[in-house]
Structure 1
Amino acid sequence: MIEPIHTAIKGRARYRVRELYRSEALQNHLEEHLSRMDVVRQVSASRLTGTVLIHFNSGNTVQTIASLLEQVVSGFRQQRGLPASESSPAPESPGKNSLKSALLSGIPFLGSGKRNAAPKPKASCLYIHGIEDPRLKPWHTMDPDSVIKEWGTSAVSGLSRESAQANLKKYGTNTLPESEPRSRWSILAEQFKSFPVALLTVSAGISVATGGVADAVVIMGVVVINAVIGFVTENQAERTIESLKSLVRPGAQVMRDGVLTEVSMEEVALGDLLVLRPGSYIAADSRLIDSTNLTVDESSLTGESLPIAKTHLPILGEKTPLADRLNMVYMGTLVTGGQGIAVVVATGKSTEIGQLHLLVGEATVPETPMERQLTQIGNQLVLISGAICGIVFLMGLARGYGLLYMLNSSIALAVAAVPEGLPAVATTTLAIGIRKMRDHKVLIRHLDAVETLGAIQTICFDKTGTVTQNRMTVQRIFAGDKRIEVAGTLFSYGKGNLRPEACRELLELLRVSILCSESDIAKRGDEYILKGSSTENALLAAAVKAGLNLGEVRSQYPLLKTKLRSEDRNFMGTFHECSTGERLVAVKGSPMEVLAMCEWRMQDGERIALTEEDRQAIEVENERMAGDALRVLGFATAVVGGNEGLDWLSGLTWLGLVGMADPVREGVKELIGLFHQARIETIMITGDQSPTAYAIGRDLNLSRGEPLEIMDSSHLGDMDADALRALSQRVHVFARVSPANKLQIVQALQKAGRVVAMTGDGINDGPALKAADVGVAMGHSGTDIAREVADVVLENDNLETMIVAVSHGRTIYSNIRKALHFLLSTNFSEIMVMFAAGALGLGHPLTAMQLLWINLLSDIFPGLALALEPAEPDVMQRPPRDPHEPIIKASDFKRLTAESAVISASALGTYGYGIMRYGMGANASTIAFQSLTLAQLMHAVSCRSEKTGIFSKEKLPPNRYLNLALGGSLALQLLTMIVPGLRGLLGLTPVGLVDAAVIGTSAVVPLIINEATKKPV
């Protein structure tokens, strides 16, 4: 008996049929038989996931549909000579595929037995083809010890290398299912799957039926030429898009044989212990076994915008939704704070995000917003031109032209009128733009990021490592009552040098900086190799200058536990074992937060009470150092009894302040000015204190000479969303921000209607980079996670290339508009000529063959050449485009219609001249054909700019691609008059000198008129 597990969404339920997995025959059987039932409105079976989604009519229950489904499955089994049903498998729990439970809450699953009774599976485990798959157990319902035991791993040392390799061999590598790139044959075949090609094929068939075999050959020749050009451009675009997938491959830190090891994501094995730290990219679905203030950004999976607090403690029920599984972390999500250890329980396609990949069936690269707009425009033009061609067809019949002749002409006109290659032009232009940006060391990871770059209205800069060089050096120390300057290897106090060993407070402060640090220390000869953040490395370098042995200090005080900086505290603490059995506490972080935990201070090597006057003096010194654009940290320590525990952070002894400087990158100030010229707002986001951030923001002129608005982000989380949205548009600098604050700031700007770019390089920039419209990461100094979630990677860490990227983004969008403007205006002119001539009773100026030739000659090469226009001189002085504005506005249609009318009038004028001189016939048509073709080619020159023209003082940079395209097209057009076979095929007659002069004049006049009517620059 099939029992529903819980209530389905109204009118929709998903069931699992185990035999459906990879069975195309059962998939077809289910869809065919269920769709015939009156109670079923829609059915979709997936052999990838072994599930059936059924939409059913109201008045039916989940049990009713399950019974019908069971009957259909039984019928299939009987057709195959199998038993109608089996009772061995238990219904699958909804917890087995929590992603689908999250997407379609309350979805029952139907189990189907397997031939030749296999061992009965556990009720909590998916059963496919007689193989129990432990990756799909409800791990959130199990305690940590059970999970560890299940995988045969250790909570301390993790898997052995041999066990990890065995699991990788048994279950496969940790890779997500990826769609196969389109083959070259499929790309070529798709060139013939369009409405215009169908029309041309019909036209060719009509030509054959009426005896015009030559016409049919030419028509199909046009089809083939269009297909070849489309294939070449789309194939290049496809290869470029495919190459984007391999730009960044994140890694993971795992414990193997008791050693912390960094492996690639593909090498993460089931049972591995993942070590989670702020900025970690979670490489696989895992069950937490230990955690401390752990927060995870799960927006990619659940849509929840704010980080989720995770804990290993609770054991949850099977029906707990995905977003509420606090003891689980999932592949593709991001650690934003705290730390944790988790056992890998699902990898690759068995992960939640892997199942999502299978469900959505990533078969093709999705269209960009621009491509969708162009497709919509193309569809609208099909309808408009179809209506016009229908009118032309009826007018021709009314004037006595033959049915087949008018049908053939109308179909050819329809195809000539619709620029069927618009989406291909967009894709090709975007792909070419990506390659051009690579030449400037700008790596684009997502196709639609190219067009978004041109719409950026606000850029948020992370300071450290982005605006600055991320090369911290200690410049000033305030220990005891001494203000110590550090220059090179020298420490100075007052007017003389200071021997560090003579200053107990200084040595104690530097000792704490060695202990309270996550930097890895190695030694090569006499040289230390430091691997860690620039801030911690600078502190260690200062300790070395003072003569301290880093390794010896750490070995004297073994590390017991670390409390990392988190969302609610701006300091870090470490706990160490002393040789006396006591515990040493080492703390560093925000000076005021560290000072608040202190009751003592060190003076002349002695511990004395910390008075209110001392606190005020420390605060004044902190403000002075921050005002000098130094990043300031406070240090404290304590020695406590061995029974005090590891969370003792009060009654500390204050040691002093350290001020560090990170030089601003060369050229950044000028870069800020260029962004302001481009009407792009600039905001600096930093974890520094307000005085430090204010000094740097002032030096960079972030406020364009206006009063600099700065906000301390300490209480940003408590601020009303509307207030934050309004405030975010006025503030130039946000200080003391956390990773969550960065995310809030970016989202607040977006809610205010801004298109936001976020630059960063650190692990704490990950959430904001991911949420921004364009995330920009540093390629060399940036962390793996920053590069993984970003849309754009600056390979050489040069922030100045960001202005190049924005310029390219604006230029690419502008060029697509130019190509579109050219295609629409020239194609409209063909419709106008044919319509006007028919309405005036002037016959048909152009034959079907001539229309096809014009379409082939003017649409392809000049249109692509316009898409390769160099940037206009003022492209970075214009305001960003409105992202909600259509690519072709109402005002654009007015302009291109007027331009089409001028071209059409000129062509009709020459046609009238031909009629007056030769009468209706081939001579007049030849003159009209040559005139319209040359005028359209000349119009490409006018489409190079909306404002700058041939009469403007400021000239456009040369476009050699357009010169080649026009030169080649004009040469081909000349061949129509020279080559007898081609001239006969197009139905042309020789042209005399007078006629040639008229044709040349009629081609140039529209260019002059259209250029003269442009708005002056």
Structure 2
Amino acid sequence: MAEALGTDAERGLSAAEAAARLRTHGPNRLAEAPRRPAWMRWVQQFTNPLVYVLVIAGVIIGLLGDTVDASVIAGVVLINALIGYVQEGKAEQALEAVRSLLAARALVIREGARHPIDAGELVPGDVVWIESGDKVPADVRLLRVHRLRITEAALTGESVPVDKDVAPNPTEASIGDRTAMAYTGTLVASGQALGVVVATGAHTEIGRIGALVSDVTPLATPLTRRLDGFARQITWAIVGVSGLTLAWGHWVAGLAWFDLFLAVVGLAVAAIPEGLPAVVTIVLAIGTRIMARQHAIIRRLPAVESLGSVGVICTDKTGTLTRNEMTAVRVVLPEGELRVSGSGYAPEGRFERHGTGVPPDEVPALAPLLHAAALCNDARLHAQPDGTWQMVGDPTEGALATLAHKGGWPAADLAAHWPRRDTLPFESERQFMATLHEGPQGGYVVYLKGAPEQVLARCHSVMGGAPFEAAAWLQRVQQAASAGERVLALARKTVGGSKLDAPALASDFELLGLIGIIDPPRPEAVAAVAQCQAAGIRVIMITGDHAVTAAAIGAQLGLRAERALSGRELEGWDDATLRQQVADCDVYARATPEHKLRLIAALQAQGHLVAMTGDGVNDAPALKAADIGVAMGGKGTDAAREAADVVLTDDHFATIAHAVREGRVVFDNIRKALAYMLPTNGAQAGVILLALLAGLPLPITAGQILWVNTVTAITLALALAFEPAEPGVMQRPPRPPGEALITRAMVGRILFAAGLMVAATFGVFHWELSRGSEVAVARTAAVNTLLVCEVFYLFNLRQGEHHAWRWATLAGNPVALLMVALLVGLQAVFTYVPAVQAVFQSAPLVASSWGVALGLGGVLFGVIEVEKAVWRRRQAQPS
């Protein structure tokens, strides 16, 4: 390889050659993607139909002379634009995070001498030295290795550090199987190596992933798409109705142009729900706050609602569904097998036989095995002040140390009585580790730990005197391996010398047993997967780990894991075949970033709304391509966090289930706010429209409409943002991605409620006139009647389609009662304060006027409940 790259493996490149190659290949950094100018990003925040509606409302209100309300709407537009502007540029942020993974310094050999240089100056052909604790500075072909193990979880999803060697790998080998390569940004767990740089900057695997991130176009969220569609619909509806009304008023009713124009402007103002963006933002903000308390940080407000629409969750395995902490789960002794409970490095759990707990001291053969696990081990456990445990060392050895601690044999205690006198460290060529210990009564014992085939080949007996049958033990090894476990064999022998040598390790060992180790599922993840499935959400696991391990974990999680499809299989399918295959498999192994992107695209092509979770650099493109990206905040990489919409601070998959539930609540409350605002705005517009068409005096003036819109937006509509979850929110299936924000059933309810409010308002207005009241009194009574009807309708909506004849209608949302009280106070000011009367042309009302308004509100409440009951009965009937 060195010769192919024109370099000398011993002396490296010359300074002149390195400089020439640096000019040719460029620095070992990722090129920055072109960015939009700041002014363009700002202008694009206003290219939204909903913003157009707000601007139109502001202009119309300004033309009416109400500068206060016009200023409020302008403020809403600017605040929304500012939020969008700040949150733009997610692709650039993700690329910056990927760039940060490149090592800052590198130890390079040039002209026969080692030099520490800026890693950005590395070029293909450079010979570099890496050792324990280093971050690999470029993609390197290994030339010499000494006990080299590299942690590649962030790049491949592999649970444990990978043993490296120099043997060539097949060209079709996946990244996780290329043992002769070390990749940019991965971490050297142990050992040292010499290698030649084969790729730098954008040509590295990390650079390729960065290019994928920049090429992915973020998808609009369901809420954004629905609000855009709604804004376009309502804009055209208002323009159309206003135009028709203008034509009718002039050519049919013969009204004067000026009076007609003011009336039509009032109609438009009444129809535009200018408070909707503020209410939606508040609902989303409340959901964001609740999710933050549940360890889910929302980076984009619409993502709150998107979670509630998710139909498929594609999730990484390592660190998301599992703890990313290796755990011993099986102990195979000559006399039988034990299972081990507990997970992670906390020494909490028990030994079990057939599901029943077994005290360790009742299993004589267990103690010698645990002694070997603790003594032939370089990892250590440390209890932390907060009650957690920290493991220092190799994850696999950490699992063995934890196992020994569970059995009552902490490594520190054993080491004090059995001091280590010599060590033969683990090396990938040998596949075992050996330690020599002096016993409390003198004498020396060698403990051997490693790959079963290597350890079994050195054994001639089994502890306890049972005959050694290699074939039977290999069958036990295969049984554990088929469950996705990494199997280690442990043995011992008594020796006379105080040094380890080749003859002492060649044979005559006594087999102590086998230990099966796996990165187990989080218990809460198993429950969360079941909860998601009960909610109609499919969970798919996509990992870079081995297929056998992935299938075993998938089965424990309750996924369809009869077989795990590999990334190599995906490469042989076209898009149509892939869409067929994803319908039947929930587990995908050895998946690269490109495979994850194809899987997400196939699911989206089937009409699914897809969430993707992950923590590694290899997950960043998929996190960005998914409808909703969820990154792990604790052990996740910066690249994953910056590419995501949601960051989980506790790294628990269970948190996603909580977030989905809250997302559904958010959508329900947004829909309730719409179902509330549209009938009220429609009623206001309907009152004006009916008056114009009938040639009657306006029951409510344009200024009074502005008052009604303002007070309802800051009181009643806002109360719906605090609604708790409806019963069974996680037992219903996800909403279809194409479902409109306003369904056909909602349209019927909106028109029905608006018609009742129009009738009540018109009726009170003409009733007041008929008994001799002045126009100002009649209009004040009409305004108050409309608001009373809106209050009663609010409590109709609080229970959704369930009946509202229950105590929870009043007590379930204290904010609603507070808002009603505030509205009563505001209406008292509107009705009885002289200064406000002068502005809005209102007048005091007598008790009978209030009585009629309250009575009509009660009638509306009852009629809506009857309509809901009819609707429920129709839904219950078989079609």
Cα distance, 1:810 vs structure 2: 0.9
Offset at residue 493 of structure 1 (A)? 13
Residues 948 and 537 of structure 1, relative CA distance in 2, 3 Å threshold? same
1:680 corresponds to: 537
Flag the structure with more relative contact order, 1 or 2, with Cα contacts below 8 A and sequence separation at least 6: 2
Give the 3 Å change call, closer, same or farther, for CA 978–954 of structure 1 in structure 2. Answer: closer
CA separation in 1, counterparts of 2:240 and 2:187? 54
Determine whether 1:222 maps to 2:69: yes
- Aligned match of 2:819: 965
Q: Distance in 1 between matches of 2:553 and 2:622?
A: 22
Cα displacement (A) at 1:476? 5.1
1:535 lines up with 2:385 in the alignment: no
Match of 1:602 in 2: 458
1:382 paired residue number? 235
Task: Give a deviation string over 1:431-471, Cα, whole Å, max 9, x none.
Answer: 44223311221122344432221122234555554444444
Match of 2:664 in 1: 810
* Matched residue, 1:393: 246
After TM superposition, the structure 1 stretch with the greater mean CA deviation from structure 2, 777-786 or 894-903, is 777-786
**Contact 2:810 2:817 (8 Å CA) reproduced:** no
Q: 1:947: how far off? A: 0.8
Q: CA deviation at 1:1013?
A: 1.5
Report if the CA contact (8 A) 2:764-2:785 is conserved: yes
**Amino acid corresponding to residue 708 of structure 2 in structure 1:** I
Residue 754 (1) aligns with residue 754 (2)? no
Per-residue deviation, residues 537-577 of structure 1 (Å, max 9, x unmatched): 435778995979999746x78x7xx79xxxxxxxx98999x
1:249/1:817 CA distance change after superposition, 3 Å? same
Q: Which moved more, 1:227-236 or 1:240-249?
A: 240-249
Write the mapping of 1:412-811 to structure 2, written as runs, cut at 5 A. 412-460=266-314, 462=316, 464-474=318-328, 495-496=364-365, 534-535=395-396, 537-538=398-399, 553=423, 601-604=457-460, 618-623=474-479, 625=480, 631-633=485-487, 658-660=515-517, 664-683=521-540, 702=558, 710-713=562-565, 716-717=569-570, 720=573, 725-726=579-580, 728-731=582-585, 734=587, 749-761=603-615, 772-782=626-636, 786-811=640-665
1:915 corresponds to 2:760: no
* TM-score, with structure 2 as normaliser: 0.66
Matched residue type, 2:841? G
What residue identity is the alignment partner of 1:885? E
Distance change >3 Å, CA 953–CA 725, structure 1 → 2: farther
Q: 1:885 to 1:200 in 2, by over 3 A?
A: closer
8 Å CA contact 2:31, 2:202 repeated in 1: no
Q: Distance in 2 between matches of 1:142 and 1:422?
A: 63
SS in 1 for 2:729: coil
**Letter paired with 1:780:** G
Q: Measure the CA separation in 2 of the matches of 1:148 and 1:346.
A: 24
One-letter code aligned to 1:964: L
Task: Tell me which amino acid in the other structure corresponds to 2:304.
Answer: V
What is the CA-CA distance between 1:915 and the residue it aligns to? 3.4
**d(CA) in 1 for partners of 2:45, 2:118:** 36
The yes-or-no answer on 1:826 pairing with 2:826 is no
* CA separation of 1:614 and 1:723: change in aligned 2, threshold 3 A: farther
Give the equivalent residue in structure 2 for 1:850: 704
| In 2: Cα distance, 1:797 partner to 1:966 partner | 41
Query: Shift in Å at residue 795 of structure 1?
Result: 1.2
Shift, 1:276, TM fit: 13
Q: Deviations over 1:633-676 (max 9, x none)?
A: 3689xxxxxxxxxxxxxxxx9x9964125565444444344334
1:246 to partner: Cα distance: 8.9
Aligned residues: 741
For 2:262, the equivalent position in structure 1 comes to 408
Is the Cα–Cα contact under 8 Å of residues 688 and 698 in structure 2 kept in the other structure? yes
Q: 1:1010 to 1:359 in 2, by over 3 A?
A: same
Pick which of 899-908 and 747-756 moved more. Answer: 747-756
The verdict on how the C-alpha distance between 1:746 and 1:602 changes in structure 2, with shifts beyond 3 A counting, is farther
Matched residue, 1:82: none
CA distance in 2, matches of 1:418, 1:844: 18
Q: How far does residue 496 in structure 1 lie from its aligned partner after superposition? A: 3.7
Cross-structure match for 2:855: 1001
Give the counterpart letter for 1:674 in structure 2: Q
Unaligned runs of 5+ in 1: 1-140, 159-166, 208-215, 261-266, 300-312, 314-328, 523-527, 564-571, 577-585, 607-612, 637-652
**2:760 paired with 1:906:** yes
Q: Which residue of 2 aligns with 1:928?
A: 782
Report the 3-state secondary structure (helix = DSSP H, G, I; strand = E; otherwise coil) of the residue aligned with 1:711: coil
Letter in 1 for 2:663: G
1:550 to 1:758, Cα distance in 2 relative to 1, 3 A:
farther
**Displacement after TM superposition at 1:835 (Å):** 1.8
For residues 853-907 of structure 1, the C-alpha deviation after alignment (integer angstroms, 9 at most, x for no partner) is 2222223443333233222232222221112212112332222111111111111
For residues 522 and 828 of structure 2, the distance between their equivalents in structure 1, rounded to whole angstroms, comes to 57
User: Alignment RMSD, CA only?
Assistant: 6.3
- Residue matched to 1:270: 120
Cα distance change on mapping 1:938 and 1:737 into 2, 3 Å: same
* 1:982 equivalent in alignment to 2:836: yes
Give the whole-Å Cα distance in 1 for the aligned partners of 2:542 and 2:90.
32
- Kindly indicate whether residue 109 of structure 2 is the aligned counterpart of residue 252 of structure 1: no
| Counterpart AA for 1:904 | V
Q: Tell me, which stretches of 5 or more residues in structure 2 are unaligned?
A: 110-116, 144-149, 156-167, 169-181, 341-346, 352-358, 383-388, 405-409, 435-447, 463-468, 491-508, 874-879
Pair 344,466 (structure 1): closer, same or farther in 2 beyond 3 Å: closer
Structure 1 residue identity aligned to 2:830 = T
Match runs of 1:204-243 below 5 Å: 205=63, 216=65, 219-228=66-75
- The question of whether the paired residues in 2 share the 8 Å contact of 1:455 and 1:755 is answered with yes
- C-alpha distance 865-234 of structure 1, shift in aligned 2 (>3 A): farther
Equivalent residues in 2 for 1:354-369, closer than 5 Å: 368-369=221-222
Give % identity.
28
Q: Which residue of 2 aligns with 1:67?
A: none
Matched residue of 1:823: which SS?
A: helix
* Code of the aligned partner of 1:223: A
2-structure distance, mates of 1:872, 1:989: 41
Give the TM-score, by structure 1 length: 0.58
Paired residue type of 1:384? A
Q: Is the 8 A contact 2:313 2:539 kept in 1?
A: yes
Point out the more displaced range, 816-825 or 856-865: 856-865
Structure 1 residues 291 and 957: alpha-carbon distance in aligned structure 2, compared to 1, 3 A threshold: farther
Letter of the aligned partner of 2:107 in structure 1?
A: G
Amino acid at match of 2:121: G
Offset, 1:695: 7.3
- Matched ranges for 1:242-321 at <5 A: 251-252=100-101, 254=103, 256=105, 258=107, 270-271=120-121, 290=141
Distance 1:870 1:276 in 2: 59
Which digits, 9 at most, give the CA deviation of each residue in 1:812-857, with x for residues without a partner? 1222112222221111112222222232333322222222222222
Aligned to 1:309: none
Equivalent position amino acid for 1:1003 in 2: G
Code of the residue aligned with 2:228 in structure 1: it is T
Q: Residue type of the partner of 2:395?
A: S
Q: In the alignment, is the contact (CA less than 8 A) between 1:491 and 1:497 conserved in 2?
A: yes
| 1:977 Cα deviation from its structure 2 partner | 1.5
The alpha-carbon distance between structure 1 residues 966 and 235, as it changes in their structure 2 partners (threshold 3 A), is: farther
| Matched-pair contact (CA < 8 Å) for 2:603–2:610 | yes
Judge conservation of contact 2:620–2:643 (CA < 8 Å) in 1: yes
